[in-house]
Amino acid sequence: MSGLFISFEGGEGSGKTTQTDLLVEHLEAETGRRVVRLHEPGGTPLGEYIRDWVKAQSAPLTLQAELLLFVASRAELVKRVIRPELEADSIVVADRYADSTTVYQGYARGLPLKDVRSANGIATGGVWPDVTFLLDVLPDASLRRAGLQMSFDAEGRVEPLPRADDTGKRRFEELSPGFHQKVRDGYLRLAKAEPERWVVVDGQQAVEEVHAQVWERVQGLLRSV
């Protein structure tokens, strides 16, 4: 495959979406190549359906069902979008990919890593990013950023935090600091185990500084392919 596959990972409020947007804009302006932006779960009709469905659930799903839904979304995405785009020489920029499942369903929620890995193996079919940026933020900072992002709408009105069930526990983005610590530790572990693919960027720096570090690495990759 001749395209370039880039993913962003990190906890809630780490700035992934902003950095994905900035990188896509920069790539479009500088390379003249087709750039495809993806946000998991989603990106295909099934993926969007799963995203909406999971978000709308009021009762918690079993961890196993949740795992299988995320990887079902990914299986569609890889086969119908990512693989064909890479074969056509596009640049694919993903806001979350299979590492999110390893970290959230494996390290943070505690499903056996071997099950998560084999599910991811089925979904990805061996398609992994050329580079993965971990936007690393301390759980406290990421919670504050996620909270601020979610509590104001576009006009600056305060929006209540979405609550999925009567216990006040949010399913899709858990807010407990312990959970976020596990997410952060899981990502750092993955990055350490595979340093040739991962680039850990301090996500607490200014947006432009983070982007500059991302861009430097991407430029290196563009030169080498």
- How many other CB atoms sit within 10 Å of the CB of residue 101? 25
- How many other CB atoms sit within 10 Å of the CB of residue 121? 12
Using DSSP, state whether 38 is helix, strand or coil: strand
Q: Is the peptide bond prior to 129 cis by the omega test (within 30 degrees of 0)?
A: no
CA atoms within 13 A on the CB side of 160: 5
Nearer to ligand TYD, 5 or 70 (CB): 70
Closest distance between ligand TYD and the C-beta of residue 220, in Å? 26
Please give the residue ranges that form the binding site for ligand TYD (CB under 6 A): 12, 17, 40-41, 70, 96, 100-101, 104-105, 172-173
How far apart CA 9 and CA 205 sit, in angstroms, is: 16
Nearer to ligand TYD, 65 or 225 (CB): 65
Closest distance between ligand TYD and the C-beta of residue 174, in Å? 7
Nearer to ligand TYD, 50 or 131 (CB): 50
Closest distance between ligand TYD and the C-beta of residue 10, in Å? 8
| DSSP code for 81 | I
Q: Alpha helix locations (H) across 102-176?
A: 113-124, 139-151
Q: Which residue is closest to ligand TYD by CB? A: 104
Nearer to ligand TYD, 90 or 105 (CB): 105
Written as one letter, the residue type at 21 is: D
Closest distance between ligand TYD and the C-beta of residue 104, in Å? 3
Closest distance between ligand TYD and the C-beta of residue 14, in Å? 8
Nearer to ligand TYD, 111 or 218 (CB): 111
